[in-house]
Chains A and B, each alone.
Chain A
Amino acid sequence: MRFMMLMIPGGYGSAAPDNMPSAEAVKAMMKYNEELKKAGVLLALEGLHPPSSGARVSFKGGKPTITDGPFPEVKEVLGGYWIIDVRSRDEAIEWARRCPASNDDVIEIRRVHEMSEFPEDLQKAAKDFSELKG
């Protein structure tokens, strides 16, 4: 089963647009990523620029409204993610536990939906999805 590990770095909400992690932190994280890869569980990973260079499109009242970052009212923001393929939720948790994260970081673990879990009618609704193939 696939899980997404969502990295929520402490204080990332107020990080400057040109924020960069230390060389030491990068090295530790690369080692961790290598371990995931060599265990055969890593499917994908990405790191995100801080929200200060991002934007939010909200749909209050059904109308899109655009706000530029940073977003002081938002407490937890994403810093990146991994998608892993493991046997159980427990294993996903164990992998998250091993992450060389910093003080105040949080990793949230969420199972990825598989198309086969959807009931037939939802699968039909998603049928046009095949047209999206690049």
Chain B
Amino acid sequence: MKSYISRRNFMQSLGLSAASIPLWLNLQSLGFASHANRKQRLVIIFSPNGVVKDRFWPDHEEDELSADKYDFKPILSPLSPYKQQTLVLKGVCDKIKGDGDNHMRGMGCLLTGGELFPGNIQGGSDTPAGWATGISIDQEIKRHFQSRPETQTRFGSLEFGVVVPERADTWTRMVYAGGNKPIAPISDPYAMFNKLYGQTKDRESLKSVLDDLQEDLRKIKEVVSSEDAKLLEEHANLIRETEMELQNDSQSMLNHPVPELESGVRNDNENMPRISKMQIDLMVNSFIGDFSRIATLQFTNSVGQAKMKWLGVEEGHHELSHEPNSNAAAQDKLTKINTWYCEQIAYLVKRLAETPEPGGDGNMLDNTTIIWTNELGEGNSHTLNDIPFVLIGGGLNFKMGRSLHLPRVAHNRLLLSIAHGMGHHIDRFGNPNYCGDGPLVLS
């Protein structure tokens, strides 16, 4: 739940003051001015506890994905309609060592590419650890985007969550503004809605009450002395000015209607499917409005314990992921769970593919790359090798419609590729020792 203090800060930065209106207009007009330039977007989606390897990874490599004879394995099957826009990367490894168990490093180093600080959080094994030592790649690209007028947006990045526990530790945070600066995802769709549209709604409400205020002022004016009436006169004029300002800037506010959210959805495990859909819808809307071009979406957390009763799975996800591969029932359930996650990705892909690029050519998927990843390669072995990276969409200009088997490359190199794909040409990210051969060539 967002505190109203930060809400106030947000209002101040984009508040009702006359002074801020030009900023608002400016951002909007910049959005329109950049029609000629492609709006590249990046979405990173996390789901936890590794995958069931033989039901996830395609058997074949290279360009064969596009051939109809090779189907996706069950877990990736929801993405089948978008096979040609998909790039599956096998062999990308999280090689970061140091403090923290694999779940912690898998999470904290996933997007930062650097070690964790020593600390007081004790995992299942290894030494205790603290937060990540550096910024995460999405925030690095955000920083780059926000520093240039043509890629600047109102928020720069949005951090979505679905049923992320209300506690801050190394397992619940993957996005970092810098070393020791984790960023909490917003798991409550209503809080996210308020962040995105609260101001618009408040302005509408404000507009609706201004006439009543004038009425109220008039009544009071009747019973005060003539000297005091002057003050009320002045007040009435100020309210009229506010009204004019609201009138003026509501005309330039939004290029799409404020979405209607299903009301009363409680933020808990049972509602996970509804929350997921709400968050994805809000994300798509935020892209349409060009509020942000970078988003992350974190399902639960590293070691996440979602109980997917709607799939007939009563056990917690993490608990199941510890079962040996020989436990067929567990493997089936884990497959169901991972497939459900893939369905969520597929829903986002579908929404983007169906939405024409506002003020541009093609659809939004053409300009957006979604990266689905995980803190582990496999739940029971806790391996940090073969971290799943499934990329969909044309945002990064990679050559899609492929399944690549890479020779155990450090994931830092993929992070570099992502930055380069987004037009941010850095030559190292995270621990430089793992950036050796530079970005993976994927285009």
User: Are both chains from one complex?
Assistant: no
Interface residues of A (CB under 8 A from B): none
